[in-house]
Amino acid sequence: MAHLPRAQLTRYAWLSIGAALLTLGMKTGAFVLTGSVAFLSDALETLVNLGAAMVALIALSLGARPPDEDHAYGHGKVEYFSSGVEGTLIVLAAIAIWAQAIRRLLEPAPLAEPGLGIVIILLAAGINLGVALILRRVGRRERSITLEADAQHLLTDVVTSVGVVFAVVGVSITGWAWLDPLVAMAVGLGLVLAGIRILRRSLLGLMDTALPPRELGPVEAVLERYARRGVGFHALLTRQAGARAFVSVHVQVPGGWTVQRGHELLEKIEGDIRRVVPGVTVFTHIEPAEDPVSWEDEALDRPEGGK
C-alpha cells in the first residue's frame, strides 16, 4: 500500500479546522436560539476541536521535517505532544461544561425554539461524522496518532451531539428543565474519559513503547522463518515514535562465515521486515554463534566486563 508523504497529511488538519469553524458557528447559534446548556456544552467541545485541529496542523508540519543533525531519528515524536495537548484541552472543556451545568441545575430556565436548534445540531453532527471517518481511515493507514486522536475526538463530539438532542427533546416533552444540565454533566464525564485515554496513549508513545502485537507479530514471524534455517536471533528491541517504527535485533551465524555472506543475510532479513512493517527502520548486528560473549547483550544496557 502506498503511503502519503508526511507533509501531505496537513491537508487533513486543515479539513478538521474547517469543519470545526463551521460546526462551532452552527452550535453557538443553536445555543443562542434555545438557551440550552446542553447545546452550550456541545459548542464548547467543538471549540476544543478547533484548538486541537490547530495543534495537529503544527505537529504534522513539524513531524514532516526530514531527519537532521540534531534529530537523526526524525521529528515524529512531536505528534505525541499534539495528542497530549488535545487530551488536556478535552479535560479542560469538561470542567467548563460541568461549571455551566451546575449553575443551570441550581437556576433552571425554560428552552426556546428547541426544534430549530435540534435541526442545526444534527446537521453539525453529520459534518463531524463525515470528517471523523476520513481522519480515522487516513490516520490508521499512515500511522498518525495526531489524526487518530482528532478523529476520536470528533466521533465523541457526534455522540455528544446526539445525546444533547435527546436531552432537549426530553425537556420539550416533559418540561423537566433539570434534564438539560444533567445531560450536559454526562457529556462532561464522557469527555474526561476520552481525554484520559488520549493522554495515556501520548505518554506511552513518549516512553518509547514497543510496537503493538499487530506489527510485532509479523516481525517475529520473519525471524522465525530464518531461525528454521539455522540462523540465531536475540536482543529483539522495538519502539514506536509517531509514524516511525524501529526494530533492532542481533543475528547469530557461524563464526567461519565471510563478511560478505553475513552482510547479504542481514540485507535479506532487513528487507523482509520492511515489507511486513512499512516505514520501519531496522538495525541489525551480526555475531558469531560460538562466542559466549554474544549472549551477554540480551538487555538494552550491556553488562560491564564484555568484550
Predicted confidence band of residue 242 (pLDDT cuts 50, 70, 90)? low
- Structure confidence by residue, pLDDT tens digits, 255-287: 999 999 999 999 999 999 999 987 788 999 999
Q: Which tops the pLDDT comparison, 27 or 60?
A: 27
Predicted confidence band of residue 307 (pLDDT cuts 50, 70, 90)? very low
Looking at residue 304, its pLDDT comes to 57
Residue 240 has pLDDT above 70, yes or no: yes
- Structure confidence by residue, pLDDT tens digits, 135-166: 999 888 877 777 887 887 788 788 778 877 87
Domains and CATH numbers, the chain: 6-206 (1.20.1510.10), 213-295 (3.30.70.1350)
| Three-state secondary structure string covering the chain | CCCCCHHHHHHHHHHHHHHHHHHHHHHHHHHHHHCCHHHHHHHHHHHHHHHHHHHHHHHHHHHCCCCCCCCCCCCCCHHHHHHHHHHHHHHHHHHHHHHHHHHHHHCCCCCCCHHHHHHHHHHHHHHHHHHHHHHHHHHHHHCCHHHHHHHHHHHHHHHHHHHHHHHHHHHHHHCCCCHHHHHHHHHHHHHHHHHHHHHHHHHHHHCCCCCCHHHHHHHHHHHHHHHCCCCEEEEEEEEEECCEEEEEEEEEECCCCCHHHHHHHHHHHHHHHHHHCCCEEEEEEEEECCCHHHHCCCCCCCCCCCC
Looking at residue 73, its pLDDT comes to 67
Looking at residue 283, its pLDDT comes to 93
Q: Which tops the pLDDT comparison, 218 or 306?
A: 218
CB of 196 closer than 8 Å to CB of 91: yes
- Structure confidence by residue, pLDDT tens digits, 170-210: 877 877 777 777 777 887 787 788 778 878 877 777 777 78
Residue 2 has pLDDT above 90, yes or no: no
User: Is the pTM of the predicted complex or chain greater than 0.85?
Assistant: no
- Average pLDDT estimate for 112-125: 86
- Structure confidence by residue, pLDDT tens digits, 122-138: 999 999 999 999 999 98
Lowest mean pLDDT among 7-16, 79-88, 226-235, 286-295: 79-88
Predicted confidence band of residue 24 (pLDDT cuts 50, 70, 90)? very high
Residue 20 has pLDDT above 70, yes or no: yes
The proportion of the chain whose per-residue pLDDT surpasses 70, expressed as a percent, equals 87
Looking at residue 226, its pLDDT comes to 94
- Structure confidence by residue, pLDDT tens digits, 29-77: 988 888 877 787 778 778 877 887 887 788 778 766 777 777 766 666 7
